[in-house]
Amino acid sequence: MNGVQLELLTSQEFVAAAFTAAIIPLGACESHGDHMPMGTDGLSAHALAVRIAEQLEHTVVLPANYLGMSGHYRHQPMALSLSADTQTRVIADVLESLHHWGIHRVLLLNGHDGNIPPIEIAARNTKIAHPEMSIATMDWWVVTNQRIPAGTFDVWEGWGHAGEAETSLGIALFPDLMQMEHARGQVPTTDPSVREFWLFEELTSYGASGAPSHATVAKGEAIVNTVVDYMVPYMRRFEDHGLSYNPQDEPPVQS
């Protein structure tokens, strides 16, 4: 069989593999500064998805979606953006297709912040329509922030669009597409406890925020290992029996 990537499989190989789960990599096409490709979000999400699925038995990886909701990044060339409504429909249609073909366990592996609201709406609507489905979503940077050792990053805890963490991930996953001699970013003042709705031009004069020049291969490999090491056990349970919460009555109050 030609690996775990759906677009590389024949129909016969797909049927023979008896996949029970799928990973949908979601990205965008927008400026990531002068040092990273515009398709960074999809490239990263897809590469991480493949590395996870290669350690599993019955999980297929769908082609990356390189179009996201990117209107807030449009001040630098060149952002291609779907509306939030369109992106929601795209995700919902893909979930419906998977349901039709008997794949009821789906992880949406997201690489772009603008996709978060459409993922939420599409996943919840699909779950209501098809209660038998198990649907989960994961933003790679959330797992990274929660589990990578403190002190891994030098500036702003690695935050930023094409910043220290994302640039490190690019160096590790697609080094031939990186142009680090052009790396530059700016660190804005934001409140991490409040959700603020910005246009990217308010955060940086460039196509990148954070400190991309501080990126290294070692930091990128640490991100990859952190995400893969966490998600492989999760997906093994997922492809075996889906989500199971086993609710129990609350324990009695101790007197």
Question: What does the pLDDT look like over 1-18, one tens digit per residue?
Answer: 679 999 999 999 999 999
The structure's pTM equals: 0.97
- Residues 94-121 have a mean pLDDT of 98
**Average pLDDT over all residues of the chain:** 97
- Residues 117-145 have a mean pLDDT of 98
Q: Other CB atoms closer than 10 Å to residue 142's CB: what's the count?
A: 12
Task: Write the CB contacts of 151 (distance below 8 Å, at least 6 apart in sequence).
Answer: none
Write down the pLDDT at residue 1.
Answer: 66
Q: Burial, 189: exposed, middle or buried (Cβ in 10 Å; 0-12, 13-18, 19+)?
A: exposed
Q: Is the pLDDT of residue 238 over 80?
A: yes
Q: Is the pLDDT of residue 96 over 90?
A: yes
Write down the pLDDT at residue 10.
Answer: 97
Q: In the chain, how long is the greatest CA-to-CA distance?
A: 66
Q: Is the pLDDT of residue 172 over 90?
A: yes
Write down the pLDDT at residue 61.
Answer: 98
pLDDT, one tens digit per residue, over 196-216 is: 999 999 999 999 999 999 999
Q: Are strands 134-139 and 105-110 parallel, antiparallel or unpaired?
A: parallel
Cα 43–chain centre separation: 10
Give percent of the chain with pLDDT exceeding 70: 100
Say if domain 6-241 classifies as CATH 3.40.50.10310: yes
**Adjacent-strand bridge partners of 234:** none
- Phi, psi at 48, each rounded to 5°: -65, -40
- Residues 35-40 have a mean pLDDT of 98
